[in-house]
Structure 1
Amino acid sequence: MLIVAGHLVVDPPARAAYLDGCVEVVDRARSTPGCPDFALSPDLTDPARINIFECWTDRGSVEAFRGSGTGDGQDAAIRDASVAEYEIAEIRSLT
């Protein structure tokens, strides 16, 4: 299991449009085999921040999807980013 998590920073007035432009990316990811969850969300306290959470069953699924991620317009809107991939060895359900 792989978790990709972190955040992007965009200009605050551009955040809503950026997220609107990501709806297709989220839908595409969630329909990709090996992707149980994929979410982009506005941060509740920082108007420039977009939180990222992705869950993947294997590295091959992540790598197959990466080529179909954001477009040039979205990339240009990103002012800063901090995103990391975590390989999970064990999972303990909390629900």
Structure 2
Amino acid sequence: MVIVSGWLRVGTDARDEYLASCVDVIEAARAAPGCIDFHLAADPLDADRINVYEQWESAEAVERFRGSGPDGGQQDAIVGAHVEQHEVASSTTLT
């Protein structure tokens, strides 16, 4: 399993518009083969921060989808980012 997690920073006044512009990407990701979960969310503490969480069956599934990332306008709105990809060796279900 692969987890992609981290954060993006956009202007405080641009966050809601940025997230609204990501709905199509989120829907496409969730429909993509190998996607377990894909989520972008406004951070409740930082007005300019968007939290990123993706869960994929494999690195290959992430790579197949990776070209579907932010479009030019979305990329221009990002003023900072820290996102990492993690290979998970094992998991335990808690629910």
Residue identity opposite 1:33 in structure 2: P
TM-score by length of 2: 0.99
List alignment gaps of at least 5 residues for structure 2.
none
CA distance in 2, matches of 1:54, 1:68: 13
The residue correspondences of 1:1-95 to structure 2 (distance < 5 A) are 1-95=1-95
The 4+ residue runs of structure 1 with deviation greater than 3 A are none
**Alpha carbon RMSD of aligned pairs, Å?**
0.4
- Deviations 1:24-64 (CA, angstroms, capped at 9, x unpaired): 00000000010010000000010000000000001111001
TM-score by length of 1: 0.99
List alignment gaps of at least 5 residues for structure 1.
none
CA distance in 1, matches of 2:24, 2:75: 15
Aligned residue for 1:36, secondary structure, equals strand
